[in-house]
Amino acid sequence: MFFLRGSRKADTEPETESLTVPETVAEETQETVPETEAPETDTQEEAGGGPHAWEIFPQNGEVLTAVNARASAEGDSAVLSVLQEGQTVVITGTDGTHYMVETENGTGYVARKYVIPELYQAGNHPPFKAPSLDGIDPEKPMVALTFDDGPNAPSTNRVLAVLEKYGAHATFYLMGSNVYGENNDCVRKMVELGCELGNHTYNHNYFNLQPVSEIRPSVRKADYMIEETCGLMPATVRPPGGGIVDEAAQELNTLGLAAIFWSIDTLDWETKDPDNTYKVVMENVRDGDIILMHDVHQETADAAERIIPALLEKGYQLVTVSELAAARGAVLEPGKMYREFWK
């Protein structure tokens, strides 16, 4: 087992500005919860079935957050039941944007994003595809900026704005439980800008502190929230806190994901000091680095607004993790761990 020096302590709660999913209800009162937006997904072929291999009905599904099951796909239709986080339901079909599930009051319609089918959870990632290197010069220096624990719209949007201003790329390691509401637009903006999406688990559970059997659900729930939001699956995974054990690496191999760590830890989550974050990066950066920051903090956005133009001024290309690996001729292999791509 190893735990990366300078990362969060494994025996403490992660220092994130955690966002709470709003569809919380009092079960005893069956209070109606606010309806969430329907996720943007490919249109299914017909209700009751879909083009994905895991869309075989009926099958069980797990409710990811408290959500309404309505009498129809219309957002103002009657609420038949309020489904609770962790509840198992039977999915009988889909209309493309909703799942039809069995409730005590008949068939209910639930936004697809908030119920993960068991066949999806049991699946693995497709083989990794190296990205295009259009516009990237492999002979020139480059680094990969990475941002963990988001999205958090107020601060993440600031990071995205400065990336867009300078035509730079970054990799965002997303927590599945944060991919909802206005944060959905952040994820779609990342894709629009050519940034890379990474998996940071559903609830920031440490791989070296949880049973191996819980790694798959944690990873696949995050996959699902991200894919249902933007149509893309994360390219790689970052173990929360940098903690991992051999058994966890084997599970990531089965899932088809490479694990990405870092060569520069800014400790921005701890110091919350933009000047210190800027100093750590600019005084230590070298060609091929993977730099760790956390876009859930406004202080990190402050630092990013200075770091990005400063790195470009020094001649660094700002690329995604996968672009950096490909430019250095590395093939990201499932279950393997990568910290940098130095020449």
**Known catalytic residues?**
148, 294
**Cα dist from 47 to 55, 72, 91, 186, 229, whole Å:** 11, 13, 12, 30, 20
Q: Which residue(s) pair with 294 in the sheet?
A: 148
Q: What is the DSSP string of 307-319?
A: HHHHHHHTT-EEE
The single-letter code of the amino acid at 173 is: Y
Q: How far apart are CA 258 and CA 325, in angstroms?
A: 12
Token reading at 62:
């797990």
When computed from its CA atoms, the radius of gyration of the chain, rounded to whole angstroms, is 20
Q: What is the residue whose two structure tokens read 């990201």?
A: 332
Angle at 160 between CA 283 and CA 180, to 5 degrees: 125
For residue 75, the 8-state DSSP code is: T
Structure tokens at 52: 């994905």
